[in-house]
């Protein structure tokens, strides 16, 4: 690990000055190798899936672990979209001339070495490495042991691609050692790693928060809500709620709690219960919800639980203000949506709900780097510094002042 990090830091100084065309060539080669090596990637992934079954991984974890042709197509699409984006490095944020003639510019520059610590999803290996390359950063990727074979083969393919493109060695580093000590070494590698992005379960996030000596951008819990307002269209609301919950349950942007305005509860909740029954979705409701449909009773614990499963808690509220209060108390700052035909209500909700992404009349499942046009994301930041929401290549840069003078001295 010490050798990897030392080489990564030195490589970061070289990579920050690499031309866009060279970086894009490397990204194109990564996409090509993924396409040409499908059988190899699926074979290595099969080893992880077989081990996952033996270890009793949950269905959500197994779903995240799978690399089939569809998943490989998704990785290729993400890499090509990242390649097609404008290079954020060198873009001028602002420029102005001072009275003394100094011309001051603020430009975007790479962060340096980005450490990514993640679980289960091997596609993160490619997404994160591609975003780091586009933004001129070196990546150090430490995936979970459940995806060991998948991550290893993906790392090998990408190392070959960047080398063939003429990029310096050490641009993409996949840590093959699954010993948990390696995580601690990354978290304490001050001066070698510039920023850490942890992606995974609550335990991993808490461990990284407790032990890191390096700034973190956290991809935290996904306790997301949908709020059906009194002025919602029932059919539209039902479609959005069901998509937000059941399109894919084991992901962070799926809703876990539904809030329903009291004035529409009598009509909406029975319709939802019927749709939920057809999808085998378990409902857990507050006292008021139980009056409108047969479901299990929710407890206080349900409001703060990320199920990642076919379970949805329901709470009836008296107003949009009450819905927002509930969201800001129990939500994780990830994704929230309101379904309403009232413009003023929608504007209030958009401004008052505290989350990385707030939607009106749309599914929370859209809070995703690919869906936002970023190609992919290195994570969805639920904190407020230095970025928030899906992190694309732009969010993997910082700024530098470049000042041009002609002999000026300070008096």
The fraction of the chain above a pLDDT of 90, given in percent, is 92
Topology of 224-366 in CATH? Aldehyde Dehydrogenase; Chain A, domain 2 (3.40.309)
Q: Measure Cα distances from 185 to 111, 182, 192 in Å.
A: 20, 5, 11
Class of domain 2-217+391-404: alpha beta
pTM over 0.85: yes
For the segment 94-106, the average pLDDT, to the nearest whole number, is 98
Phi, psi of 15 (to 5 degrees): -65, -30
Label residue 322 by pLDDT band (50, 70, 90): very high
Residue pair 207/231 in contact (Cβ under 8 Å)? The answer is no
Provide the token pair at 356: 């990385």
Residue 131, classed as helix, strand or coil, is helix
Report whether pLDDT(381) > 80: yes
Q: What is the pLDDT of residue 202?
A: 84
Label residue 119 by pLDDT band (50, 70, 90): confident
Domain-wise residue ranges, the chain: 2-217+391-404, 224-366
Report whether pLDDT(366) > 90: yes
Residue pair 133/108 in contact (Cβ under 8 Å)? The answer is no
Helix axes 69-84, 38-54, angle to 10 degrees: 120
Residue pair 121/248 in contact (Cβ under 8 Å)? The answer is no
Residue pair 103/404 in contact (Cβ under 8 Å)? The answer is yes
Using CB atoms within 10 A of its CB, is residue 297 exposed (0-12), middle (13-18) or buried (19+)? Answer: exposed
Label residue 385 by pLDDT band (50, 70, 90): confident
Distance CA 280, CA 226 (A): 19
Label residue 311 by pLDDT band (50, 70, 90): very high
Report whether pLDDT(201) > 90: no
Q: Measure Cα distances from 121 to 125, 148, 167 in Å.
A: 8, 10, 26
Instruction: Kindly give the pairing relationship between strand 311-317 and strand 282-285.
Output: parallel
Report whether pLDDT(98) > 80: yes
Distance CA 196, CA 298 (A): 37
Strand partners, 404: 103
Q: Measure Cα distances from 350 to 127, 336, 353 in Å.
A: 30, 9, 6
CA angle 7, 195, 373 (to 5 degrees): 105
How is the beta sheet containing 113-118 ordered, strand by strand?
A: 172-174, 138-142, 113-118, 195-199
CA angle 324, 206, 310 (to 5 degrees): 55
b/e sequence 237-276, b meaning 16+ C-beta within 10 Å:
bbebbbbbbbeebbbbbbbbbbbbbeebbeebbebbbeeb
Report whether pLDDT(295) > 90: yes
């Amino acid at each position: 690990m010490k050798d990897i990090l030392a080489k990564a830091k030195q490589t970061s100084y070289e990579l920050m000055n690499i031309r866009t065309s060279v970086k894009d060539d490397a990204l194109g080669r990564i996409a090509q190798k993924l396409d040409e090596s499908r059988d190899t990637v699926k074979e290595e992934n099969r080893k992880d899936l077989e081990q996952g079954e033996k270890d009793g991984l949950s269905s959500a974890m197994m779903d995240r672990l799978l690399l089939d042709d569809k998943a490989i197509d998704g990785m290729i699409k993400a890499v090509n979209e990242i390649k097609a984006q404008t290079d954020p490095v060198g873009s001028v944020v602002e420029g102005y001339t001072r009275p003394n003639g100094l011309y001051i510019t603020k430009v975007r520059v790479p962060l340096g070495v980005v450490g990514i610590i993640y679980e289960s999803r091997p596609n993160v290996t490619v997404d994160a490495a591609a975003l780091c390359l586009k933004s001129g950063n070196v990546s150090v990727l430490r995936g979970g042991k459940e995806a060991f074979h998948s991550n290893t083969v993906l790392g090998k393919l990408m190392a070959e691609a960047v080398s063939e493109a003429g990029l310096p060695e050490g641009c993409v580093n996949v840590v093959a050692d699954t010993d948990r000590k390696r995580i601690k070494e990354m978290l304490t590698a001050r001066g070698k790693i510039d920023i850490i992005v942890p992606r995974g379960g609550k335990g991993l996030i808490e461990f990284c928060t407790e032990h890191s000596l390096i700034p973190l951008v956290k991809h935290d819990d996904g306790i997301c809500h949908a709020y059906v307002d009194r002025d919602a269209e029932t059919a539209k609301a039902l479609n959005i709620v069901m998509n937000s919950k059941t399109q894919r349950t084991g992901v962070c942007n799926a809703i876990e709690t539904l809030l329903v305005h009291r004035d529409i509860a009598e009509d909406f909740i029975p319709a939802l219960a019927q749709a939920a029954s057809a999808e085998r979705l378990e409902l857990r409701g507050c006292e008021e919800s139980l009056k409108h449909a047969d479901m299990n009773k929710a407890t206080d614990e349900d409001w703060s639980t990320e199920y990642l499963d076919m379970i949805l808690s329901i709470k009836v509220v008296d107003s949009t203000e009450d819905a927002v209060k509930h969201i800001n108390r129990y939500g994780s700052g990830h994704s929230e949506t309101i379904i309403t035909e009232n413009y003023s209500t929608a504007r209030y909700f958009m401004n008052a709900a505290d989350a990385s992404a707030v939607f009106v009349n749309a599914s929370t499942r859209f809070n995703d780097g690919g869906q936002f046009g970023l190609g992919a994301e290195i994570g969805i930041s639920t904190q407020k510094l230095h970025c928030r929401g899906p992190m694309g290549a732009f969010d993997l840069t910082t700024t530098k002042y470049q000042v041009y003078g002609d002999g000026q001295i300070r008096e």
